[in-house]
């Protein structure tokens, strides 16, 4: 089987190898460091199917909230909680939480129970996930309704 790359290269693979690759790596949900407890495990209702995440609720009576969204690829923020890990998700989460923010880390689609798969999402779908996460945060008693504005980190 001949496969055409985005550049001008041509690759030749046995048909069985290509089929196995697609069966293993396309649209299959994965569990990544799912045995590592991170904050309060939450399920977020979404128009595109449930999302999973971890929530760190601020101790203040009213707080602003931050949503942390994973990038592409087969990874999870949970890896940052492994002993001696070098990832940035844990220190960033801890810094924000200690500064008085409620922090929600979202698992991407297809990872650790989030319905769907990130390879089948458009940017509009990812945006909808964040909108659904915002709606979820609005249901929390300690998230300040007056701080209901969109900011970036």
Residue extents of the structural domains in the chain: 40-147
Strand 51-56 relative to strand 102-106, pairing: antiparallel
Residues 109-137: tens digit of each pLDDT:
888 888 888 788 888 988 999 999 999 99
pLDDT of residue 66: 93
Residues 57-97: tens digit of each pLDDT:
998 888 999 999 988 777 888 889 988 888 889 999 999 99
Provide the β-strand partners of residue 41: 54
Instruction: Determine the topology of domain 40-147 in CATH.
Output: Rossmann fold (3.40.50)
Cα–Cα distance, 8 to 2 (Å, whole number): 13
Which residue intervals of the chain are DSSP H helices?
15-25, 89-98, 123-138
Residues 45-54: tens digit of each pLDDT:
999 899 999 9
Residues 139-152: tens digit of each pLDDT:
998 887 665 555 54
Q: Which is more confidently placed, 152 or 44?
A: 44
């Amino acid at each position: 089987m001949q496969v055409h790359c985005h550049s001008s290269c041509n690759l030749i693979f046995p048909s069985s190898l290509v089929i196995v690759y697609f069966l293993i790596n396309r649209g299959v949900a994965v569990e990544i460091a799912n045995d590592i407890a991170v904050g309060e495990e939450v399920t977020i209702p979404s128009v595109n199917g449930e999302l999973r995440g971890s929530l760190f609720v601020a101790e203040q009576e009213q707080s602003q909230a931050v949503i942390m969204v994973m990038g592409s690829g087969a990874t999870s923020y949970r890896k940052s909680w492994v002993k001696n890990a070098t990832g940035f998700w844990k220190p960033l989460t801890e810094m924000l939480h200690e500064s008085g923010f409620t922090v929600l880390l979202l698992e991407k689609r297809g990872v650790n129970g989030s319905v769907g798969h990130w390879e089948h999402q458009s940017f509009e779908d990812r945006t909808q996930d964040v909108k659904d996460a915002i709606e979820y945060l609005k249901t929390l008693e300690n998230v300040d309704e007056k701080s209901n504005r969109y900011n970036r980190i």
